[in-house]
Amino acid sequence: MRSELVSWWTIRQVEGSVNIKRKIRRSQANKSKKKAEKALAEKVALFGHLPNKCLTCEKPFDKMNREQVMTWNVVVRQEEEKVNLYCPECWDKAIKLIKEAKEGLLNKKRNRNAVSPEKE
Ligand SMILES: [Zn+2]
């Protein structure tokens, strides 16, 4: 991450000359292509870790079942190299819980504001 920043900074510094600019553009394109390839390889590797059941209810997941592949939800945690798999029912429940938690927080805020009544 840091080295990327440094090279970007260097590129900005030398952008004055047209020739150099063209050269840099080419090397930048190569870099981002390599980056994309690397990201793809990482994703494929993670896909190899795909669980064969729902993380929450342990319902079996069939990679060859098109409908399941289309409807189940995969959450990739790249930094932990973990792949979590959720069946549609558990996913819906999780979404609802998150929504309720968010709404709960909003209500709490509203109530706190209501504690001090306006003076008339
Ligand atoms: Zn489930």
The reply to whether 28 and 77 lie within a common domain is: no
Domains contained in the chain, number: 2
Asked if residue 46 has pLDDT above 70, the reply is no
C-alpha count within 13 angstroms, C-beta hemisphere, residue 50: 17
The reply to whether 69 and 87 lie within a common domain is: yes
pLDDT score, position 75: 84
Ligand 1 centroid–CA 74 distance in Å is: 12
Q: Which residues span the domain enclosing 22?
A: 1-47
> Whole-model pTM?
0.50
Ligand 1 centroid–CA 95 distance in Å is: 13
The reply to whether 17 and 57 lie within a common domain is: no
Sorted by sequence, the CB contacts under 8 Å of residue 57 that are 6+ apart come out as 87, 89, 90
The reply to whether 33 and 60 lie within a common domain is: no
Ligand 1 centroid–CA 77 distance in Å is: 18
Asked if residue 78 has pLDDT above 50, the reply is yes
Asked if residue 87 has pLDDT above 90, the reply is yes
Ligand 1 centroid–CA 58 distance in Å is: 6
Q: For a pLDDT cut of 90, what percent of the chain falls above it? A: 22
The reply to whether 14 and 70 lie within a common domain is: no
Asked if residue 4 has pLDDT above 70, the reply is no
